[in-house]
A and B are shown apart, each in its own frame.
Chain A
């Protein structure tokens, strides 16, 4: 019975179709439909969904290797993009997986909360430093324990490096803790420094070959390196002996230039000021050390401008915010991540958080946006923190405020020191001379006076009544 009925229905509807204008309605009919209640109900519901879908920002289909941009002939179209959501982290060997290679670098995507990395890279020797190769968005550079520099490519389907530097005396034979690509799109080099003080400069132009361009040695056990903003020749390094050295790559005085002393323990992290703005602070840099302190320096002074002493353990890393000129982050061995805003307060961090379980935090990195901070810990975990707008976003006047701070830095150091020893300080010049390292000293009295004396000409420099405590 049924098939016959269906057949009849088909015939009927076919007739209907033939009778109606083929695939078209009259304007009147359309308007009628558009004004009907059932249509409005349908449209209300479906437009709602469509508007939500249209407002979605994420694109789960994105291919970071760029294969989707290949044109018909199979050539790779050049892309000068960086992906701020990608984060590369290198790890020490996994105790639970002894058969896995020693060297591991993982690329994580901060846009999604998936629990697996975007890319997994391996190599034979432990990776001590890893970075995206600037100007080559597909490449990741790694400095290894053996001294080899390795290059991974996310276009290859392999987890192993596409390029390795030779393991010979002409290159590095000691662990490489610092790798950095410096220069411009047309002229850039990969700089690597090993712990025996050897600096090598490699060319990335002859990819897939890494060509050694230049090397120099100074027996400095380099643990950290940074290039000031805009500089490709001068750079600063921190070493195991607690000293900071300035150096340059080219010129008659190529090599180590000056030594800055100040830390009492190995330097673990060093970062040159990066937030560009109306005032140039590229001479400022911060260092972190095993001596529980973070220090602020200028390349123009061989003594620290300021010492931040809020930590009670080794400080493992420090980094300036890429967008806020007075903000930097540091991490220590008992799970603290501290954000310091010099325009706000120089005695204590502006914001602080402790990672659950208090693991030692080895590395801290700001995201390009300056709105997120990534922290790597001793358990092999990477934690990403959002930094609130009120802390991370600089106001217009942040640069001028910081400049004012820098100028009176020396005075402040003395004043604050005086405040700490408030009751033991006397105004007798002979006593004071032994305590100060500069020509200025400060003294305080019980009625709120802070006086600055200049030892050299023994005259009062400044007198300012103010409430100190």
Chain B
């Protein structure tokens, strides 16, 4: 992927049916890019970061050879998808029934 395509991809994902927001966060939980307003971004980033640490810890605790690859949190109103990496993680919030 080229750098120019990153912006295009973000726009494309954001325009898909039901997508409410995209947030890119670094390993410390600090948002790098977001399509949501500042306060929501900070809220999501902080909460997801904590959850991610917990989830990753759990996977490694059960099996040290294993690692977390993807997290989906389904709630009554929407779904939060988290794609983690060692340096960053991508959060996409969507309403799947829309």
Question: Chain A interface (Cβ within 8 Å of chain B)?
Answer: 23-25, 30, 33-35, 38-47, 49-51, 53-54, 59, 61, 68
Contact = CB atoms under 8 A, between A and B. Distances in A.
Given A53-B72, A54-B92, A59-B97, A42 B32 contact: no
B68 interface: no
B87 A53 contact: no
Given A30-B33, A59-B97, A43 B26 contact: no
B97 A25 contact: no
B30 A24 contact: yes
A24, A38, A43: which has the most chain B beta carbons within 10 Å?
A: A43
Given A30-B32, A50-B13, A43 B24 contact: yes
A51 B10 CA distance: 10
Nearest to A58: B96
A41 B76 CA distance: 33
A24, A40, A46: which has the most chain B beta carbons within 10 Å?
A: A46
A38 B87 contact: yes
A68 B74 CA distance: 14
B87 A54 contact: no
Contact of A25 (B2, B3, B32, B87): B32
Interface string B12-50: 110010110000101001101100000000100010000
Interface residues of B, number: 34
A39 B96 contact: no
B69 to A, nearest CB: 8
B6 interface: yes
Contacts of B72: 53
A49 B81 CA distance: 10
A278 B6 CA distance: 50
Interface in B59-98: 70, 72, 74, 76, 81, 83, 85, 87-90, 92, 94, 96-97
Interface majority SS (helix, strand, loop, mixed), chain B: mixed
Given A25-B32, A30-B32, A38-B87, A43 B9 contact: yes
Contact of A40 (B3, B26, B33, B92): B3
B30 A49 contact: no
A45 B85 contact: yes
4 closest A-B pairs by CB: A46-B83, A44-B1, A46-B90, A42-B85
B87 A42 contact: yes
Contacts of A46: 83, 85, 89-90
Contacts of B13: 47, 50-51, 54
A49 B70 contact: yes
B94 A54 contact: yes
5 contacts: A23-B46, A35-B3, A39-B88, A50-B13, A61-B74
B33 to A, nearest CB: 7
Nearest to B7: A34
B34 to A, nearest CB: 10
Given A43-B24, A53-B81, A54-B16, A25 B88 contact: no
Nearest to B92: A50
B72 to A, nearest CB: 7
B48 to A, nearest CB: 13
Nearest to B88: A42
A50 B83 contact: yes
B43 to A, nearest CB: 11
A42 B33 CA distance: 14
Contact of B19 (A34, A45, A54, A61): A54
B6 A25 contact: no
Given A25-B26, A30-B33, A33-B32, 12 more contacts: A23-B42, A40-B1, A43-B1, A44-B1, A45-B83, A45-B85, A49-B83, A51-B16, A54-B18, A54-B19, A59-B96, A61-B74
Nearest to A54: B16
Contacts of A34: 3, 6, 32-33
A51 B92 CA distance: 10
Contacts of A40: 1-3, 6
A44 B2 CA distance: 9
Contact of B6 (A23, A24, A43, A53): A43
Nearest to A39: B88
Nearest to A30: B32
